[in-house]
Chains A and B, each alone.
Chain A
């Protein structure tokens, strides 16, 4: 069965620290992978996506993610976090066509000034 696993449920960092959020998926076919973010009081929104091509994907606000097929992973990274990055981050896998998504449980990131 297709699934998405996010390893860290809560992450606390200081400003300027580097960030890496883990995401592993289970799916044997062609993958379409996404990271969504929900800032406090705001709608869930797309951060970045991978469909094919360069496995290193750059998104908004300085985020990037690397697709490693051999590890079934799509980890999210940012070299230096800011207080405004405090949010909940969801990894998602495109499943079964027709734009259906399977989401991970999310990671709550708190960045302290």
Chain B
């Protein structure tokens, strides 16, 4: 079944650790996105990708980095986690070319807590 997956679902980690949040989709979508959401707040776009080897920073500045080596995989990495990184991270994907708007399909999210 075509879907979008995120692992881990929950992560509690100490300050200074390197972490990678995984996101994979089986829908063959070219576009993928990472959003950050604090409780009761808006989802903010932090990274997006139009396709393999293409990554861009989103509207909200983030210390995280992303890579897109394969169409289906869009991992997010924090080299040194800090308590300010505590948040929920949502991955999404969509079809479509430049200038078009299509439905974004979301994963279940990763809830990150940095102690």
Report A's interface with B, CB cutoff 8 A: 4, 9, 32, 36, 43-46, 49, 51, 90, 94-95, 97-106
Contact = CB atoms under 8 A, between A and B. Distances in A.
Contacts of A43: 4, 105-108
Interface in B1-60: 4, 31, 33, 35, 40-45, 48, 50, 58-59
Contacts, number: 57
Nearest to A94: B101
Contacts of A44: 90, 92, 106
B31 A106 contact: no
B94 interface: yes
B106 A45 contact: yes
Interface of B: 4, 31, 33, 35, 40-45, 48, 50, 58-59, 90, 92, 94, 96, 98-108
Across the A-B interface, give the 9 residue pairs with the lowest CB-CB distance, nearest first: A44-B106, A103-B43, A32-B101, A94-B101, A46-B103, A103-B42, A43-B106, A105-B42, A97-B99
Given A9-B40, A45-B106, 19 more contacts: A43-B105, A43-B107, A44-B90, A44-B92, A46-B104, A49-B101, A49-B103, A94-B101, A98-B31, A98-B48, A98-B50, A99-B96, A99-B102, A100-B33, A100-B45, A100-B48, A100-B59, A102-B59, A103-B35
